[in-house]
Structure 1
């Protein structure tokens, strides 16, 4: 295991916080966006026991190229080729339609490097948790369920990566919107 590199992690956190400073999550609570990459880093460290500073820094930076004006070149200059490549593996092409990006994530998942798979698992887990705790205001029950189905499809392509992360994902998946209502109905029958 690599030693914790506090300087790298604080630099990545500061960079991501600055880049995402005007962004909010889509939920009703409009939580500052930076809470999402922090949640990934927390999940990696405290649940999956990941101590690789490049993986944790990648988790903090994973949406900067996709969702801010950060360029791959800027990321490489600031954080080096390893982290910039990991972020590149996790970055969707925003020029494509939403449906095409979703399809490509499923197709591309098996080709992710082992380190990128770890971040992908954490990202999908945190996204499911967010949909459960503070879903986007305009999402219908069907839209939430479709998101859960798609996230499972992506994660199923990379199972065998990290037992703890997969368990956390499965726990979030088990809270799929609408499932609880069906279970309550069965209990009432």
Structure 2
């Protein structure tokens, strides 16, 4: 029962922290849709046996994209969750190119839970990019994003076959859809 309560509290926290945020794509979906998709994939990949990873998936963008602090997450959800969230957070003080390279470089060294969250996050991002890409991105930038995500996931391989298969499908289907769009 505690895990279910913790999950509901994390969902409520994430929804409130991201309340005014929308995805960058042309459909501008509520940001919480992304968080719930990532959490669902992690829950399915762990067969519901790792509530810490699922809760961290819900919260994975709170440090990066909201006013939430590490201490606030730790106080509300515990040190294990806060640690995974911190591992999956980009340092916004770095230039974008540095942040992207850092994700590639650190992926192989992430904790198993952080790898699950990162994999599910990349699947969700590629799916979204394929059906609702940012309107102002040219095809080359969309393809570049897919290739970067592929490089990050290369360092996450061996983590979870289910998520890796979902990523491979999203990668190949998404690139095909983007290329068909340009014809």
Distance in 2 of aligned mates of 1:122 and 1:111: 17
- Which residue number corresponds to residue 81 of structure 1? 79
Tell me if structure 2 keeps the 8 A contact 1:141–1:177. no
Structure 1: runs of 5+ lacking an equivalent: none
Write out per-residue CA displacement over residues 3-41 of structure 1, whole angstroms, 9 at most, x where no aligned residue. 881101001000000000010000111111111010111
Q: 1:11 aligns with which of 9, 12, 29?
A: 9
Distance in 2 of aligned mates of 1:96 and 1:180: 29
Superposition deviation, residue 80 in structure 1: 1.0
- Which residue number corresponds to residue 118 of structure 1? 116
Pairing 1:143–2:129 present = no
User: How does the TM-score come out when normalised to structure 1?
Assistant: 0.90
Q: 1:31 aligns with which of 29, 41, 50?
A: 29
Distance in 2 of aligned mates of 1:178 and 1:135: 14
- Which residue number corresponds to residue 63 of structure 2? 65
Distance in 1 of aligned mates of 2:178 and 2:21: 31
User: How does the TM-score come out when normalised to structure 2?
Assistant: 0.93
Structure 2: runs of 5+ lacking an equivalent: none
Aligned pairs, number:
181
- Which runs of 4 or more aligned residues in structure 1 lie more than 6 Å from their structure 2 counterparts after TM superposition? none
Distance in 2 of aligned mates of 1:116 and 1:82: 11
Write out per-residue CA displacement over residues 125-172 of structure 1, whole angstroms, 9 at most, x where no aligned residue. 100000001111111110110000000000001100000000000000
Aligned in 2, Cα 1:5/1:102: closer, same or farther, shift over 3 Å?
same
Q: Give the alignment of 1:90-169 within 5 angstroms.
A: 90-169=88-167
Larger radius of gyration: 1
Write out per-residue CA displacement over residues 83-107 of structure 1, whole angstroms, 9 at most, x where no aligned residue. 0000000000011111110000000
Bigger mean CA offset, 154-163 vs 41-50: 41-50
Aligned in 2, Cα 1:28/1:44: closer, same or farther, shift over 3 Å?
same
